[in-house]
Amino acid sequence: MEARDSSVLDKKKVKFGTDTNHLHGLLELDHVDVWVPTKNVSLRDCRYFVSAVDDYSRHCWVYLIRQRVEAVELLVKWKNLMKTRTSKKIKELQHDHVEEYQGSFLQFG
């Protein structure tokens, strides 16, 4: 077998530009997800978790909850916490697979 000077990885380099994110600040776009129940229960009997990610800063918050219905109340508290800490409102909130909360999320922002 013949040895090669360069590896496949050297030929497949991908450059990520800094101009892909056109947001100007915190809380302009946030992503929220309520995850499916885990197989294992936490010490406080939590089986679900909620994640929120700020698109600009990439800061992530993760909260454990016992029941899926607790998600809206938790997100309202999170929204108020962000407003208190940053003096800004969430401009756009993206979420997946939470159709049952659609009305609440429309009032959320």
Q: CB of 46 within 8 A of CB of 65?
A: yes
- Summarize pLDDT for 63-87 with one digit per residue, the tens: 999 999 898 899 889 999 999 999 9
The pair of structure tokens assigned to 52 is 């929120």
Query: Can you give the pTM of this predicted structure?
Result: 0.69
pLDDT at residue 2 above 50?
no
Domains of the chain: which residue ranges?
24-108
Q: Does domain 24-108 sit in CATH 3.90.400.10?
A: no
**What secondary structure letter does DSSP report for 109?**
-
CA 30 to chain centre: 7
| CA 44 – CA 66 distance, rounded (Å) | 8
Provide the pLDDT for residue 23: 74
The pair of structure tokens assigned to 13 is 């380099």
Total count of residues recorded for the chain: 109
Provide the pLDDT for residue 104: 59
- What pLDDT band is residue 8 in, cutting at 50, 70 and 90? very low
| CA 52 – CA 61 distance, rounded (Å) | 5
Residue among 24, 20, 25, 74 at smallest CA distance from 52: 74
Provide the pLDDT for residue 70: 93
